[in-house]
Amino acid sequence: MHPLFDLTGKVALVTGATHGLGLAMAEGLASAGATLVINGHSSREKIDTAVSYLRDKGYSAHGYRFNVCNEDEVEQAIAGIESEVGPIDVLVNNAGIIKRIPILEMELSDWMDVIDTDLTGVFVMTKPVAKRMVARRQGKIINICSMMSELGRDSVSAYAAAKGGLKMLTRNMATEWARHNIQVNGIGPGYFATEQTKPIRVDGHPFNDFIVSRTPAGKWGDPSDLQGAAIYLAAPASDFVSGQIIYVDGGILATIGKPSNEA
């Protein structure tokens, strides 16, 4: 493995990594040599299943159940991870939710659920990890943003507000901690083929046709497409990169119009 992308001996914590994009990024980090710690909140069974999946592939993996929005749970979990597994070298803030509700129909409780998880949860999760990174004078933090960090869309106001805020939180974290040799960056996924999107990824479905035609690459992303960006931002290759958001979107944000079908 090229030393610039070698994560051997590093401990990487990925939140919300029991399935989907989080699990894919965790697997990518493990393939580069990292020892994994994955987090979930809703189900111990899901955590154990994901850990078993990773271990069956020959990776070193550990699972912890805690709520990223709960300061006491987070502090206790971080202390336990650093004692039982090792110092956290890489933190991937992936845990998040979305509620598709038009603004005029959204209750304050729904709004706060999304903001608390997708934005405040990153603040809560990162503080105890970053304090330890500052003391060690090294660390990598990767916040999972979104194309909604840049664009609006019907019925996702709380999610877009949270992800837009997360983009700026990423830049402020980078500003404050760069002097401590900590790099903070973000990844903004486009539209990916996951179990969640499976029902709408069929020919003839209006949203599927829109995504395929709107994306210059002409397809949905595969979760493994996120692994390269995750490895890069976690590895020595990005030691002088901070405050950036890498959009892994097949080119959607690069163009304003529908791509031409002409050769």
Per-residue tokens: 133: 């990174």
Beta strands in the chain (DSSP E): 11-14, 35-40, 61-65, 90-93, 139-144, 182-189, 245-248
Residues in the chain: 263
Tokens of 155: 């019925």
Q: Which residues are catalytic?
A: 159
Name every residue whose Cβ is closer than 8 Å to that of residue 153 and which is 6 or more positions away in sequence: 160
Picking from 3, 20, 11, 5, the residue whose alpha carbon sits closest to that of residue 195 is 20
Chain centre to alpha carbon of residue 232: 14
